[in-house]
Structure 1
Amino acid sequence: MTGSSRNQVKEIRYQPEGSYPYGLEVFRVSDLRRRTSPKGMRRTYGYTFYMLILVTGGQCNQMLDFQACSGGAGSMIMVRPGQAHNFGEGEDWDGWIVLVRPDFLRAESSREDPRTGFDIDRFPAYVRIDAVDLKRAESAIEWMRQDAAFNDESSSEHSQHDPGRPAQFVEDIQSHLRYCFYALVSWIAITYRDKRTDDLRRRPAVMRFHHFKALVEQHFVEWKSIGAYAIEMGCTERSLTRATLDAEGISAKEYVSRRLGLEAKRLLIHTDWPVGVIADHLGFKEATHFSKFFRRVAGFTPQQFRSANGTSTHP
């Protein structure tokens, strides 16, 4: 991983050490600590790749998009590109980290069937798996690490299985790692799926919320009225609010406000844009309107939020 500074917050790009050729990399949290300063481990970063973190021992208190993700062994966190994340203050825990480039998830070879049905968005941001499944997940990740080590010319695996390491070998391992990752994530998503979808009486409301959630991701800047979403979905505002209350415990209007507030937080710490520019980018006609909105959803002014997160203030 390498970082480029924007403000005082780093955006981490996928760049493995040496000549490692694959779009997936596996290592331990303890390995990352050995090559990163304690201060660096506690910083908040943005990423251009996916990062799956599996806690295998100890107790951690990571932060994902400014929300605590606490847990011990069996806690899994999926960090997506653009999200704000840090590993927390504690150092008495360990786990696996799997880094995945977004383009790695799409098969480039014409020989591979692109219709895999794999959808990484089905994977929750946070899930807690039981002890039996933890062993299975650890084993799957360990095998990915070992298989990726075939590329290392100094490893015994390379010398025994691939003395010449032709390009075809690298392509085959890349494909193999891709489907190993598909299998791991799909298994977790299926095993720990939203059980409410099994209830035929509640399934329509659950599906309605997921449709709403997808639309919010696409249109939260320009569509601030719940009516716009209800029209697009062909339902009433009341049914949309009921579905959101059932899924998230908040109204549909509040859900859109929180998503807009989250984007504002990301922009405040990951860019050095003035508050007025951020306000305009998020569809506010006046910076004062944005500041009032942000204070309501975050409890701070934009400048206070920047200062609290270690970044300089911008008027």
Structure 2
Amino acid sequence: MKNETADITRLGYAPSGRRLDVEVFPFSDILRRSRPERVRSTHRYDFHLLLLITQGTPTQIVDFEPVDCASGSLLLLRPGQVHSFGIDLDWDGWLVLFRSEFVPTVSDLPSNLMPSRMLERMPDHMRLGAEDFRATVSAISAMARDAKSDAPTDVIHTLLRYQLCTLVLRLDVLHGQQSATGAERSPSVKRFAKFRELLEANFSGWHQVALYANDLGCTQKSLNRATKDVLGLSAKDVIARRITLEAKRLLAHTDRPIYLIAEGLGFDEATNFSKFFRKCAGQAPAEFRSTYR
């Protein structure tokens, strides 16, 4: 089955009846509109997707890894990630799709209060308590109803923008409450968070731990301590995992030649990339690609 990058304008889902920068609809809508094999296929998105499970216990596949979900599970998928709704389709939930540029990034507020910044620090998977679950369902349901209003499109765009920002703010508060422990405020966790942000921006060019430690103003030993405290891995292994993940995404969801993937990920020779990938993924790049094709 062919895999492809899914653009929000090419999904074919416009329950509002018009093209909006935020689309809100239940998973059951997809089941009614698409063949099961199409629903089960994998995509690499170029937009954000909030997925709130309301019924059932589906296993979602995110970046080639299973994520067990249940009612109250909230997944945040970011541009570039790979996702499948899984094999089991006997469940339902709300989907909120939106482009990154639809979330404000500039304001007179401190940057850490910006919804775009909050999206960056939110976890990939949250579990909501009963009260928070009801409040989140109510907020998303209101967005779905308002999107179908007969008000002018520019008014709906503005309304949805504010509602989306409110939803992100709400989720950021919930995340803060769930993580408000001494461990979450420890120096190691804070250092790891900065390292992860730096890694996301530079993994294709910076392969050495020293480069990250220098930019963070710490020693390689301190950085290794932080990554081991949080993930149980050395900083070198964390870097290798991120490079491998991007390689998997590109191999599975693009037709880009392997030598160009290697070049784009900072390898001088395709053979060096192949050795690296086989060591980390247990397969040669071509073997991995054929598995997902």
Structure 1 match to 2:41: 43
Structure 1 match to 2:206: 223
Aligned match for 1:212, one of 182, 195, 204: 195
Q: Quick one: which amino acid aligns to residue 121 of structure 2? A: R
Q: Deviations over 1:18-41 (max 9, x none)?
A: 862431111010101111111111
Query: What percent identity do the matched residue pairs reach?
Result: 39
Distance 1:21 1:66 in 2: 30
Distance 2:193 2:64 in 1: 22
Change (3 A) 1:183 1:249: farther
Larger radius of gyration: 1
SS of 2:205 mapped into structure 1: coil
Structure 1 match to 2:147: 148
Distance 1:296 1:113 in 2: 45
Q: Is it true that 1:248 corresponds to 2:247 in the alignment?
A: no
Structure 2 match to 1:138: 137
Q: Quick one: which amino acid aligns to residue 133 of structure 1? A: D
Aligned 8 A contact 2:53 2:92 in 1: yes
Structure 1 match to 2:89: 91
Aligned match for 1:295, one of 278, 284, 288: 278
Shift of 1:187: 1.8
**Aligned residues: CA RMSD:** 2.2
Change (3 A) 1:193 1:301: farther
Shift of 1:264: 0.5
Change (3 A) 1:252 1:195: farther
Q: Quick one: which amino acid aligns to residue 244 of structure 2? A: G
SS of 1:193 mapped into structure 2: helix
Q: Quick one: which amino acid aligns to residue 5 of structure 2? A: E
Q: Deviations over 1:135-190 (max 9, x none)?
A: 1111110011111111xxxxxxx3xxx5xx4xxxx333322211221222222222
Q: Is it true that 1:8 corresponds to 2:2 in the alignment?
A: yes
SS of 2:267 mapped into structure 1: coil
Aligned 8 A contact 1:197 1:203 in 2: no
Q: Quick one: which amino acid aligns to residue 64 of structure 2? A: F
Equivalent residue runs for 1:1-315 within 5 Å: 8-15=2-9, 17=14, 20-106=18-104, 113=107, 115=109, 117-118=114-115, 119=117, 120-150=119-149, 158=150, 162=151, 165=152, 170-193=153-176, 198-199=181-182, 202-310=185-293
Change (3 A) 1:149 1:114: farther
**Structure 1 residues 171-180 or 82-91, which shifts more?**
171-180
* Structure 2 residue ranges without an equivalent (≥5): none
Shift of 1:196: 5.8
* Structure 1 residue ranges without an equivalent (≥5): 1-6, 151-157, 311-315
Shift of 1:270: 2.0
Shift of 1:62: 0.9
Change (3 A) 1:243 1:272: same
Change (3 A) 1:113 1:280: closer
**Structure 1 residues 56-65 or 286-295, which shifts more?**
286-295
Aligned 8 A contact 1:51 1:97 in 2: yes
**Structure 1 residues 73-82 or 272-281, which shifts more?**
272-281
Change (3 A) 1:70 1:238: same
Aligned 8 A contact 2:122 2:175 in 1: no
SS of 2:218 mapped into structure 1: coil
